[in-house]
Amino acid sequence: MLSSGRFDPVRFLEKLDAKVYGIDLHWLVHAQGALKVASIVKRKHPNSIVMLGGLTASYYWREILENYSYVDVVMLGDTTEAPVEKLIENIGDESSFREIPNLAWRNDGRILFNGFAYVPEEFSHLINPRILVSNAIKTRDIFMTVPYYGFVKKPIVAILTVKGCLYNCVTCGGSCYTYQKYYGRTKPAFKKPEIVKAEVEELSGIIDAPIFVVGDLTMAGSKYASDLLKALGGLGLENEIFFEVYRPVNREILRFMRRVSDKVYLQISPESPYEDVRSAFGRNYDNSTLEKMISSALDVGLERLDLYFMTGLPKQTYRKAVGVAKY
Ligand code: SF4
């Protein structure tokens, strides 16, 4: 859509032929777009099922089904491949919808939710990045296949390592509390190191773009993190690699990160240089721990360290908001 002024989204959606149309409503910022697409799809394909999924859809499932009649079902939770498969197998037999885990749906005007019966404790599903290539061949349109506008010129790819989080940052829709209360997940599911390694290896074999390893590996313990980093270090990667951590990590972990590639970038979000503001936001570490990590990161030779700060935080006065620049 962004790469061609002639692209007609309504016509494109009209030409798609499916029994179920799954629309991603993961990030709240996409609420308007997801609902607009859903309304167009329902208008053009009134006999098909329009389904929303993603964390935002999982949080607002009742409001969506109460207020937007063009959405037929919402698939809740962070892992929905198997329930969606079951839904597809049972199209045409609405009486069986009661058996589909994680499904919210309408039945004779009533809104029902079947409950979270599918929240896998393991996150071991290998995502084969070659699917991007096969989709491009299938659609014969590289721009319909890439994940975002500008990807061809400036690509970056991501590997998910975890579903869930150990922490409770107050604004986060993916916190430990939110996962427990709204997505049925009582503890994070970490992807097995050998699967992360296989995905990184596969990706690096087909694209030389930077690879973002999403999720703080140390949440699964320092053994998990160091085993995985050692395994990645053995791949001889030439890609730039991004890691993120949610709390400062020790020098040993930084050293293992450094060995993964010649260009390793690390990201951390202290949010504020003021410890009381940071703590009120839900990040409980002090500046000396943070600064120790910064100097270790420079010492071990990480190529870049990105620090993220925010404004509009609890306890953040005007003085403390503008104080970020000075820090
Ligand atoms: S560490 Fe990240 S994912 Fe976890 S609660 Fe905080 S912002 Fe959310």
pLDDT digits (tens, 9 = 90+) for 234-290: 999 999 999 999 999 999 999 999 999 999 999 999 999 999 999 999 999 999 999
| DSSP H helical ranges for 190-286 | 193-206, 222-233, 251-258, 275-281
User: What local confidence, expressed as pLDDT, does residue 196 receive?
Assistant: 96
Identify the helix (H) or strand (E) that includes residue 303: none
CB 19 within 8 A of CB 41: no
Over residues 295-308, mean pLDDT: 97
Decide: 175 in ligand 1 pocket, CB within 6 A.
Answer: yes
Q: Which atom of ligand 1 is nearest to the CA of 168?
A: 5
285 lines ligand 1 (CB under 6 A): no
ipTM of predicted assembly, 2 dp: 0.99
What is the number of other CB atoms lying within 10 angstroms of the CB of residue 67? 10
- Judge if the beta carbon of residue 51 lies within 6 A of ligand 1: no
Does ligand 1 come within 6 angstroms of the Cβ of 172? yes
Identify whether the C-beta of residue 157 lies closer than 8 Å to the C-beta of residue 212.
yes
CA-based max dimension of the chain = 65
The mean pLDDT of 152-159, rounded to a whole number, is 89
3-state helix, strand, coil in the chain (%, to 5): 45, 15, 40
What tokens does 263 get? 């260009």
Residue ranges of domains in the chain, CATH in brackets: 9-113 (3.40.50), 130-326 (3.20.20.70)
Q: In the predicted model, what is the mean pLDDT of residues 202-231?
A: 96
Q: What is the pLDDT of residue 135?
A: 72
pLDDT at 201: 96
Probe target for ligand 1 pocket from 175, 214, 313, with the most ligand atoms within 8 Å of CB = 175
Q: CA distances (Å), 204 to each of 124, 138, 194, 239, 289, in order? A: 20, 22, 15, 7, 34
